[in-house]
Amino acid sequence: MAPGLFLASSAKADSIIAATTGLSGPDSTITFSEIVLPELVPVGANYGGLGVTFNPGVLYAPPNTHPDAGLNFSPPDVVNFFPSDGNWLITFNNLMKEVAFAYASEPATTTFIARRNGSIVEQFSADTDFGPSVTNNIYGFRNILFDQVEINVTPKPGREPAGNGIDNLQFVRARPLRLR
């Protein structure tokens, strides 16, 4: 087997936009209860042993830190409150093939970007919101190779920036091509 040789499947890239469920068979699901941190402490590389690192604005949110974000959230989770820029950069330790996560924000247009070695592989934008009745708040990517997910939020006109959050981060690692 040649080291580092990966091929994308012939399947078309598939964005997960406002779904009600995540991946059917993830390699890993991070619920943010695996490593308990103090309230609103930067997450950074604390979850590096589970395969993921977050940009400095991402904070650990135990239960009762924020309003109910929807049925796909089960605190603890991670949040990015303003005055941070509200944007995310999730960096994976390995090359990924799929990712899905619950995402909630104040009413906003959110752009989700999959990157590989810093270059955009796939992206989409969606209207996002939060609240106890929100059930379609799963976002992500399938059938592409990437090592980072960037999330950029733009509040709706007339809205003040407030913050956003992620929970139940699922991912599937890319598999090396087997040569015979």
**Residue 54 domain flag:** yes
pLDDT of residue 134: 92
- Residues 168, 138: Cα–Cα separation, whole Å: 9
**Residue 4 domain flag:** no
- Residues 3, 30: Cα–Cα separation, whole Å: 28
pLDDT of residue 162: 78
- Residues 82, 1: Cα–Cα separation, whole Å: 47
Q: Residue 111's domain spans which residues?
A: 15-173
pLDDT of residue 2: 42
pLDDT of residue 8: 47
Looking up residue 44, the CATH number of its domain turns out to be: 2.60.120
**Residue 10 domain flag:** no
How many structural domains are present in the chain? 1
Query: Which single residue is written with the structure tokens 């509200």?
Result: 86
**Residue 180 domain flag:** no
Q: Name, in order, each residue with C-beta under 8 angstroms of 158's C-beta and a sequence gap of 6 or more.
A: none
**Residue 2 domain flag:** no
Q: What is the pLDDT along the chain (180 residues), one digit of tens a residue?
A: 344 544 444 457 899 999 999 999 999 999 999 999 999 999 999 999 999 999 999 999 999 888 889 889 999 999 998 667 789 999 999 999 999 999 999 999 999 999 999 999 999 999 999 999 999 999 999 999 999 999 999 988 988 777 899 999 999 999 987 776
**Residue 62 domain flag:** yes
- Residues 162, 157: Cα–Cα separation, whole Å: 13
- Residues 107, 129: Cα–Cα separation, whole Å: 5
pLDDT of residue 25: 96
pLDDT of residue 180: 67
- Residues 156, 39: Cα–Cα separation, whole Å: 28
**Tokens at 55, concatenated:** 């940009």
**Residue 143 domain flag:** yes
pLDDT of residue 83: 66
**Residue 5 domain flag:** no
